[in-house]
Amino acid sequence: MKTGKLRFFLGVCSFLFGIFTLAAQTEGQGAEISDTYRRIRLGMDIEAVKKQLLADGIFGYRGDRDVSLLPAPNKALIETAGASFIERSWFQFHDGNLYIMTFKLNPERIDYYSVFSALLEKYGEPAILNPLKAVWNDERVTLSLERPLTVKYVDAQMFGELMEASGTEQAASDMLREMFISEF
């Protein structure tokens, strides 16, 4: 296997391991994890998110030109520049509902330790803590602070359903592949 493919494969495995670890670690959390950032809440429909982005000056949202359809069915993405503390933001939708919010923060205006300290005070000890990220979660929301300086809110239930569906689709694809090969 070529080096690039091996790195990609190992990266995907590491990502999936982290997600499955998140699902298993829900005890020991502080307050309920917030599903809202600046009046934008996980589960909102795309039109409501657009309206909030236009109303909030911290986001550089310019309207529909910032919305992209992703190469998968029923998925859309709003990517927008930020102002001040936020460099860029991404809002991912499935079936028209927001399920991931990602904020790349400006390291010249804010630092990892300050954000980590605020989240630690608000939510208690993270479920996962390593040199790359800190993760807080409950049955509804996964909140991660990743290095160098990115904050993510994930609808845990929707993400789990999408991962399960992805695994089912992959298993069916693998079975069809094996059936095809066995015909030779």
DSSP codes of every residue in 10-38:
HHHHHHHHHHHHHHH--TT--SPPP-EET
The pLDDT of residue 64: 79
- Where are the domains positioned within the chain? 3-182
pLDDT tens column, 121-161: 999 999 999 999 999 999 999 999 999 999 999 999 988 88
Give the tokens for residue 12: 């995907």
Calculate mean pLDDT across residues 64-85: 78
Q: What is the pLDDT of residues 159-174, one digit of tens each?
A: 888 777 665 555 555 6
Rounded to an integer, the average pLDDT of 67-95 is: 84
Tell me which DSSP letter residue 124 carries.
-
pLDDT band at 74 (very low <50, low <70, confident <90, very high): confident
AA letter at 184: F
Model pTM score? 0.72
Tokens encoding 183: 């015909």
